């Protein structure tokens, strides 16, 4: 794919975080679902993906599906220094766990964990980011949880 670096630079300069839109000479423009379909190949037709998002311990879900449990917040530590905050986990912490490529003779469970991390990064880090841009919502992992894929949803 050929990239037009001048166009990308111009668009970056016109992006406004306050409104999440581009401010162009002829008005504001934003990214639509159809744009996401074309750019990322994500289907946008059909029923919406929704589910149960209330959970007792999101750390358990991380352990079960990613193989790593985020550490608890330290006593007397500032709130934003915690790795896990409610249902959100620091993206940097997850990236550290999954930064090394796995060997070719990797077991199936580890490959699935890497795939879940990648999909979580796509959903929580690109499509549905939070305001900080530094945390990912763990709720997207629920769609991989065989327990939550039953009739409770």
| Ordered mean pLDDT values, 10 residues apiece, the chain (153 residues) | 80 84 85 78 67 69 85 63 80 86 80 86 77 78 59 37
Query: What is the pLDDT, as a whole number, of residue 80?
Result: 62
Give the DSSP letter string of 11-61: HHHHEETTTTEEEETTEEE---HHHHHHHH-----SS--------S-HHHH
Query: What is the pLDDT, as a whole number, of residue 101?
Result: 80
Q: How far does the chain reach from its first CA to its final CA, in angstroms?
A: 40
- What pTM was estimated for this model as a whole? 0.57
CA distance 32 to 28: 13
C-alpha distance from residue 142 to each of 40, 84, 86, 134 (Å): 22, 16, 15, 20
C-alpha distance from residue 32 to each of 21, 98, 100, 116 (Å): 11, 31, 34, 25
SS3 content of the chain, % helix, strand, coil (to 5): 40, 10, 45
Indicate the burial class of 141 (C-beta count within 10 angstroms; 0-12, 13-18, 19 or more): buried
Query: What is the pLDDT, as a whole number, of residue 152?
Result: 40
Query: What is the pLDDT, as a whole number, of residue 151?
Result: 38
Query: What is the pLDDT, as a whole number, of residue 141?
Result: 78
Tokens of 50: 């929704």
């Amino acid at each position: 794919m050929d990239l037009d670096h001048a166009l990308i630079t111009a668009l970056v300069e016109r992006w406004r975080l306050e409104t999440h839109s581009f401010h162009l000479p002829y008005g504001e423009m934003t990214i639509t679902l159809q744009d996401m379909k074309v750019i990322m190949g994500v289907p946008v037709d059909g029923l919406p993906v929704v589910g149960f998002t209330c959970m007792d311990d999101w750390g358990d879900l991380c352990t079960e599906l990613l193989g790593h449990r985020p550490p608890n917040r330290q006593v007397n530590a500032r709130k934003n220094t915690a790795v896990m905050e409610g249902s959100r986990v620091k993206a940097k912490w997850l990236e550290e766990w999954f930064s090394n490529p796995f060997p070719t003779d990797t077991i199936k469970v580890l490959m699935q964990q890497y795939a879940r991390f990648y999909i979580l990064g796509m959903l929580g880090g690109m499509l549905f980011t939070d305001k900080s841009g530094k945390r990912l919502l763990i709720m997207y992992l629920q769609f991989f949880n065989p327990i939550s894929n039953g009739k409770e949803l």
